[in-house]
A and B are shown apart, each in its own frame.
Chain A
Amino acid sequence: MFELFKDLGAWLVDGDQWAGQDGIGHRLTEHLQYSLLATLVAAVIALPIGLLIGHTGRGAFVAINLASFGRALPTVGLVVLVFLASGLSMWPVYVALVALAVPAIVTNTYAGMSAVDPEVRDAARGQGMRGHQVLFQVELPLALPLVMTGLRLALIQVVATATIAAYVSFGGLGRYVFDGLAQRDLVQVLGGAVLVALVAVVLDLALSGLQRALFRHRPAKSA
């Protein structure tokens, strides 16, 4: 076991391992590219849905069940299915990652919107604000912390799952995991896994730090 960790340490700090097309540097960039693009697309789809459900109060049932559906959807199956339908392209990876991220963003956005004090909403309306003004000037700013939590959770999940891109012969840090599996090279598998976990943890810490800095003036609970 100790020997394995020593090899792993050597693998991670080896300069050759970091350079070139198969290098960690390049794989890391690919991994981040898949993750960020997928989360961005998911946000573009999910944010309007979450805001609309929260604002109108209609379709809450959809938002809650979507989360459950998203959790139940087997990512591996989805990737293979889209792969068989579309052939060798980036579609399987992005469809699966976006499908994973959308429910997390919708439910958290909706949760943030529904946590807005109804009296605040009434006061805004009573002042003569129009629907879209209430949404963008009152509800959204108040819901923002939870909206950001949704985006953060989605990104972390996507980073962990983007490993799957390598299964359908693309890059990213999953390359080490799947190549290592095929070559029975445990050190390489471990290295890939540790790197993905590190990226996820670092992103999570950085984003929650950013969140805290941004909303420092807010009381923790909307009491």
Chain B
Amino acid sequence: MSVDWSWIADHTDDLTTLTVNHLQAALSAVFFGLLISLPLAVLAHRVRPLRGLLLGLSNILFTIPSIAVFVLLLPVSGLTRTTTVTGLTIYTLVVLLRNTVEGLDSVPQKTKEAAKAMGTKPLRALLTVELPLALPVIMAGVRIATVMSISLVSVATYIGDGGLGQLFTDGFQRDFPTPVIAGVVLTLLLALVADALLVAVQYVLTPWNRRRREA
């Protein structure tokens, strides 16, 4: 199995388009996943009985095979980008929800009491005290969700989307390994770069952790 380099040279434009397309689907899913899981996590953190229910529900969603999730969405949104992003979002939920709840749990009780004693209103305390302190654990979840989504986008190739995953069906149908290898390598690279960028984002967002380490 050898790589046909001339095919790659001839298709750099296509590969670039597919990579951008791929990344766009994965990042949209993480964005919507955060949008949904943040309020749910706050709810699960505050209301104990809801916690087991929400986490258990997201665990069950996670066991459904990804191809099935995409197909099940077909009657609702058809062969569109919406189906891809919705399916991926469902998958990011389990990681994002769990990590956000754990992050909020990890905020020391005394810190919360101090914020309250200083007259900080609950919403303000959540936004300026609890969420920033929970950020490292939340970011760990965001990293996992991003890498996972980047890998999962290719499954949507069965419903006619799938970014770099289209290279897999293409190679499979033509019995031609080069696009498949290119797709796997580009997916891995994309995941690696995205993960490294998120580490950098976390570094910028949590200056207090940095100072502590230097001290």
User: Contacts of A68 on B, CB cut-off 8 Å?
Assistant: 147, 191, 195
Complex formed: what's the CA distance from A177 to B72 in Å? 10
Complex: A181 Cα to B188 Cα, angstroms:
28
Query: Can you list 26 A-B pairs, Cβ within 8 angstroms, ordered by A?
Result: A68-B147, A69-B188, A71-B147, A71-B151, A74-B168, A74-B183, A74-B184, A74-B187, A76-B155, A76-B165, A76-B168, A77-B165, A77-B180, A77-B183, A83-B172, A156-B63, A160-B66, A163-B65, A186-B75, A189-B68, A190-B68, A190-B72, A193-B65, A197-B60, A197-B64, A200-B63
Q: Does A206 contact B (CB under 8 A)?
A: no
Chain A residues 165-223 with CB under 8 Å of chain B are 174, 177, 180-181, 186, 189-190, 192-193, 196-197, 200-201, 204
Q: Flag whether A73 is at the interface (Cβ < 8 A).
A: yes
Across the interface, A72 reaches (CB within 8 A) one of B63, B175, B187, namely: B187
A/B pair count, beta carbons within 8 Å: 118
A78 touches B184 (CB 8 A): yes
Mark each residue of chain A from 62 to 101: 1 if its CB lies under 8 Å from any CB of chain B, else 0.
Answer: 0000001101111111101101110000000000000000
Whole-angstrom CA separation of A190 from B69 in the bound complex: 9
**Chain A contacts of B132 at CB under 8 A?**
none
Chain B residues with CB under 8 Å of A84's CB are 1, 171-172, 175-177, 180
The B interface, classified by DSSP as helix, strand, loop or mixed, is helix
- Secondary structure class of chain A's binding surface, majority of residues: helix
A192 touches B68 (CB 8 A): yes
The answer to whether A193 and B64 touch across the interface, beta carbons within 8 angstroms, is yes
Asked whether any CB of chain A lies closer than 8 Å to the CB of B154, the reply is yes
Q: Are B154 and A77 in contact (CB under 8 A)?
A: yes
> Considering the chains assembled together, what is the distance between the CA atoms of A159 and B64 in angstroms?
9
Q: Which of A80, A160, A193 contacts B72 (CB 8 A)?
A: A193
- Tell me the B8-35 residues at the A interface (CB within 8 Å): none
Least CB distance, A163 to chain B, in whole angstroms: 4
B-side contacts of A85, CB under 8 Å: 1, 177
Q: Which residues 153-193 of B sit at the A interface, judged by CB distance below 8 A?
A: 154-155, 157-158, 164-165, 167-169, 171-172, 175-177, 180-181, 183-184, 187-188, 191-192
